[in-house]
Amino acid sequence: MKDLFTCLALTAVCLAFAPPAGAEIREADVTGGRVAGVPSGGIVSFKGIPFAAPPVRSLRWKAPQAVEPWSGVKQANAYGASCMQDANFARIFNTPAGISEDCLYLNVWTPAKAPADKLPVMVWIYGGGFVGGMTSVPDYDGTHLAEKGVVLVSVAYRLGVFGFLADPALSREAKTSGNYGLEDMIAGLQWVKANIAKFGGDPSRVTIFGESAGGIAVSMLTASPAAKGLFQGAISESGGNFGPARVGNEGGVNMVTLKSAEASGHAFLAKLGASDLKAARALDAEKIQSALGPGLQGGFWPVFDGNILPGDQYELYQSGRFNDTPVLIGTNSDEGALFAQPGITKAKFEAQIREGYGKGADAILAAYPHSTDAEAAQSAMDVFRETAFAWPTWAWATLQSQKGHGKAYVYYFDHRTPQSPPKGATHASEIVFVFHNLGGTVLGTNVKIQVRPEDTAMADLMSTYWTNFAKTADPNGKGLPAWPAFTSGDQRVMFFDTHSSARPAPNMTQIKAVDGYYAWRRAEAKAQKTN
């Protein structure tokens, strides 16, 4: 009888401390104060949580500072404002139009019932050419990924001139300049490490993932000493940063040295009439933004600053100086279609290649058909696909498999929809399948996208692979087509199409030609340093 009473007492204690059926984490104490989320269907979302002080006035062009504490319970029920950018981006992405310098906020979606659940964490970094983008894009809603057993976080970061301006005076002030947007991402990851356990997430199982500029940023974070230990896995969709620094008008090269970035940044501030940093920080944000021009213009991009980004990432990987984690990376079949230039002819294509690719031009021209204007137009798009996305992804996978302990998994997205261009899947078209957010609208319109059974099946497949990777560092799982790790000897990639399966990497003739070009550029840069 005594044993029975003891058992009943222990049971009562356990029930008293166990979360009730259907329990959710609706409030949490985080850095700065307490936040309250919004429950819906077993997922609680927390939107607009500040992770750093507003980077305004004297904090403009400075590393993110400590968040300002608040009193009471902050209702985390709405996204923060988008960082400064061309307002047309909000229209294109069908997002709220609020834009402000005060934009360093993040969002959390959690399925956890209690902090002790310790679920894997996925941190999303949006794309937009480093000049646009926001966490509030409907396609980035984290509900459906959270339903698969992960805590989903999305982080805002400064863009354009606000995120990536370098200047000699700024460098003297902080020993470097030009990578504030990347520092925002790192501050967001530091916030995750310090706070995500309150939402049922495991700070020792964090996977960063992003697309386009977000994917490039993921690549940069894998080579940044400042991000060491803040994540244990990396997913990059159409992004990688493995080319050398640009010194002139080299084709396929975006990164610049700190010295070059300082010169262009100083010239920009002079154009605005700012005589010193105090004057520059006193300018209205709207005046600075309007001076950049519309869309993807502006010319501000992350910088090889020797600190956040030590230098040529290809060389860093070759020497083993990178944050070694498993990676899942890939590209889409017709990435270049979104960036097509009008009026490309055979003669214009050949002239552009010879002007930008120097001694590598002959190999590039031999690999890309251009005997007619139509062929030249397609090849111009394909050169962009390879230099901006496919080669960096292949180089990354090769280096990771050779120099790292974490495995590399590579994909090739070729799922066709009625909205796809005729040649394949365009840039960013995989995002809705990864997030399982189908049925949205065509970018920049109110036209509803019709969802077919094959689209739902693709979303099921991709979102499962992605969350499996976050959980186990391996996308494979029961009932899924086998996805082998990429190695130098086995360069199979997972094709996402009507018969999703692992097959030899595509477009290798073109990728090898581009690889030879970058090797020549790198050798030229070394020769110039020694002379």
Torsions phi, psi for 309 (to 5 deg): -120, 100
Averaged pLDDT for residues 201-205: 98
Averaged pLDDT for residues 125-154: 97
Helix, coil or strand: residue 43: strand
The answer to whether residue 6 scores a pLDDT higher than 50 is no
Q: 218-233, pLDDT tens digit by residue?
A: 999 999 999 999 999 9
Edge to edge, the sheet with strand 73-75 lists 27-30, 33-36, 73-75
Alpha helices in 177-305 (DSSP H): 180-195, 213-222, 258-271, 277-282, 285-290
Looking at this protein, which amino acid is placed at residue 243? Answer: G
Angle value at C-alpha 472, between 215 and 393, nearest 5 degrees = 25
Averaged pLDDT for residues 423-452: 90
Q: Which two tokens stand for residue 298?
A: 């502006």
Q: Which of 427, 429, 463, 500 is catalytic?
A: 427
> Is 68 considered catalytic here?
no
Residues 6+ apart with CB under 8 A from 396: 219, 236, 240, 242, 317, 327, 329, 408
> In terms of pLDDT, which residue wins out, 466 or 442?
466
Of the chain, the percentage scoring pLDDT greater than 90 comes to 86
Q: What CA–CA distance (Å, rounded) separates 126 from 140? A: 8
Of the chain, the percentage scoring pLDDT greater than 70 comes to 94
Q: Which of 82, 177, 212, 401 is catalytic?
A: 212
Longest dimension (CA), the chain: 96
Q: Which of 24, 101, 335, 430 is catalytic?
A: 335
Question: How sure is the predictor about 235, in pLDDT bands with cuts at 50, 70 and 90?
Answer: very high
Residues 6+ apart with CB under 8 A from 60: 101, 162, 280, 281
Q: 238-259, pLDDT tens digit by residue?
A: 999 999 998 888 999 999 999 9
> Is 250 considered catalytic here?
no
The answer to whether residue 298 scores a pLDDT higher than 70 is no
Q: 500-526, pLDDT tens digit by residue?
A: 999 999 999 999 999 999 999 999 888
**Among the listed residues 41, 437, 21, 31, the one whose alpha carbon sits nearest the alpha carbon of residue 199:** 31
Averaged pLDDT for residues 432-460: 91
Q: Does domain 36-341+388-530 have CATH number 3.40.1690.10?
A: no
> In terms of pLDDT, which residue wins out, 112 or 422?
112
Residues 6+ apart with CB under 8 A from 285: 56, 84, 100, 101, 162
Q: 324-372, pLDDT tens digit by residue?
A: 999 999 999 999 999 999 999 999 999 999 999 999 999 999 999 999 9
**pTM of the complete model:** 0.95
Do the beta carbons of residue 194 and residue 112 sit within 8 Å? no
> Is 379 considered catalytic here?
no
Averaged pLDDT for residues 159-184: 96
Question: How sure is the predictor about 297, in pLDDT bands with cuts at 50, 70 and 90?
Answer: low
**DSSP codes joined into one string, 71-104:** -SEEE-BSPPPBPS--THHHHHTT----B-S---
Averaged pLDDT for residues 290-308: 86
Averaged pLDDT for residues 96-116: 95
Domain positions in the chain are: 36-341+388-530
Beta pairing class for 43-50 and 38-40: antiparallel
Judged by average pLDDT, the poorest of 74-88, 135-149, 290-304, 413-427 is 290-304
The answer to whether residue 530 scores a pLDDT higher than 80 is no
Q: Name residue, tokens 């139509």.
A: 374
> In terms of pLDDT, which residue wins out, 527 or 323?
323
Question: How sure is the predictor about 531, in pLDDT bands with cuts at 50, 70 and 90?
Answer: low
Q: Name residue, tokens 């991009």.
A: 301
* Residue 29: per-residue pLDDT: 98
The answer to whether residue 109 scores a pLDDT higher than 80 is yes
User: Average per-residue pLDDT in the chain?
Assistant: 93
Angle value at C-alpha 290, between 289 and 294, nearest 5 degrees = 95
* Residue 19: per-residue pLDDT: 44
Residues 6+ apart with CB under 8 A from 177: 61, 165, 166, 167, 170, 171, 258, 261, 262, 265, 303, 305
Averaged pLDDT for residues 75-79: 97
Q: What CA–CA distance (Å, rounded) separates 25 from 36? A: 9
Angle value at C-alpha 90, between 89 and 91, nearest 5 degrees = 90
Distance of alpha carbon 408 from its chain centroid, rounded?
17
Q: What CA–CA distance (Å, rounded) separates 318 from 313? A: 9
Helix, coil or strand: residue 124: strand
Question: How sure is the predictor about 5, in pLDDT bands with cuts at 50, 70 and 90?
Answer: very low
Q: Which two tokens stand for residue 36?
A: 């309250």
* Residue 11: per-residue pLDDT: 39
**How far are the Cα atoms of 77, 119, 435, 456 from residue 113, in angstroms, in the given order?**
19, 10, 22, 28
**Among the listed residues 119, 117, 118, 137, the one whose alpha carbon sits nearest the alpha carbon of residue 127:** 137
Neighbours of 325 (CB within 10 A): 20
Q: What CA–CA distance (Å, rounded) separates 371 from 216? A: 33
